[in-house]
């Protein structure tokens, strides 16, 4: 029971941590600075919290579905719209801010652009600073500008540091012709993994195709290890 609370191992090197940290700092600074030039420092500083959280995803775990360009741009748009709607209909209260964040999650899931920091954008749009409040519906401007700048920084920095971004869709595994059945009829496929993910009824930040590739790669290493053990026993 207590072991479930222990942190899981991070399968990255310290050099990757440093790379992500530098990118996060650059991306957040650029987003806030450019936003302040257009809309003022107050509106820009109001978004620094969600932007910092987005930077962690875009630079540290850029391969995840939550960190792709449509996730942050669409997520910030959904959050901004829901926040302004809640503020106009229900007023700028703590309850309406929480409700706006919940409605933003539903809209993001529907539009397939779930981005966790956008929940904070929805809440902070309701409980905004006086400068942002005075912008009314134009408050979407700093929200979307900062999101776009963050995406551009992530695209430039990640690729310059040899991290492919945005993530390309996983290539589908070739279909086996009907007259050539697979050697192992119990081999796991992307369709099997898709059904398993549906049974779990939880959001997992990975696609069935990526899981299938991971399974096949693991099987390859397992076969290599098995062959190595056989050869070592034979030589002994």
Nearest 5°: CA angle at 57, between 202 and 97? 70
Minimum mean pLDDT among 58-62, 115-119, 161-165, 228-232: which range? 228-232
> What does residue 159 show for φ and ψ, rounded to 5 degrees?
-70, -35
Nearest 5°: CA angle at 199, between 194 and 201? 100
Q: 120-176: per-residue pLDDT in tens? A: 999 999 999 888 899 999 999 999 999 999 999 999 999 999 999 998 665 554 544
pTM (two decimals) = 0.74
Number of domains into which the chain is organized? 2
* Cβ–Cβ under 8 Å, residues 167 and 207: no
Length of the chain measured in residues: 236
Same domain flag for 57 and 143: yes
Model confidence at 41: pLDDT above 60 = yes
Sign of CA dihedral 188, 192, 193, 196: negative
List the structure tokens of 115.
């981005």
Please indicate, yes or no, if residue 125 is contained in any of the structural domains.
Answer: yes
Please indicate, yes or no, if residue 179 is contained in any of the structural domains.
Answer: no
Q: Rg of the Cα trace of the chain?
A: 23
Same domain flag for 64 and 150: yes
Domain span including residue 210: 190-235
Same domain flag for 134 and 218: no
* Cβ–Cβ under 8 Å, residues 59 and 24: yes
Distance of alpha carbon 14 from the chain centroid: 21
Question: Residue with structure tokens 């029971």?
Answer: 1
Please indicate, yes or no, if residue 106 is contained in any of the structural domains.
Answer: yes
Same domain flag for 138 and 197: no
pLDDT at residue 176 in the model: 47
More confident position, 212 or 28? 28
Last residue of a domain, one of 110, 139, 160: 160
Same domain flag for 140 and 37: yes
Same domain flag for 19 and 123: yes
Same domain flag for 123 and 217: no
């Amino acid at each position: 029971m207590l072991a479930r609370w222990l942190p899981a191992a991070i399968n990255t090197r310290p050099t990757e941590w440093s790379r992500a940290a530098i990118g996060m700092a650059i991306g957040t600074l650029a987003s806030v600075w450019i936003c302040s030039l257009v809309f003022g420092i107050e509106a820009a500083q109001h978004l620094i919290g969600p932007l910092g959280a987005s930077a962690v995803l875009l630079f540290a775990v850029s391969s995840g579905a939550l960190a792709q360009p449509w996730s942050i741009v669409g997520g910030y748009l959904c959050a901004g719209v829901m926040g302004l709607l809640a503020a106009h209909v229900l007023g700028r209260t703590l309850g309406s801010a929480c409700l706006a964040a919940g409605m933003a999650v539903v809209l993001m899931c529907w539009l397939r652009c779930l981005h966790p920091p956008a929940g904070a954008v929805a809440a902070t749009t309701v409980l905004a600073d006086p400068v942002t409040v005075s912008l009314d519906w134009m408050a979407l401007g700093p929200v979307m500008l900062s999101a776009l700048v963050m995406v551009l920084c992530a695209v430039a920095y990640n690729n310059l540091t040899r991290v492919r971004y945005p993530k390309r869709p996983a290539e589908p595994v070739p279909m086996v012709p009907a007259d050539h059945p697979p050697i192992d009829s119990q081999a796991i496929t992307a369709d099997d993994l898709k059904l398993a993910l549906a049974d779990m009824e939880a959001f997992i930040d990975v696609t069935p195709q990526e899981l299938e590739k991971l399974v096949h790669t693991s099987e390859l290493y397992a076969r290599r290890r098995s062959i190595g053990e056989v050869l070592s026993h034979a030589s002994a």
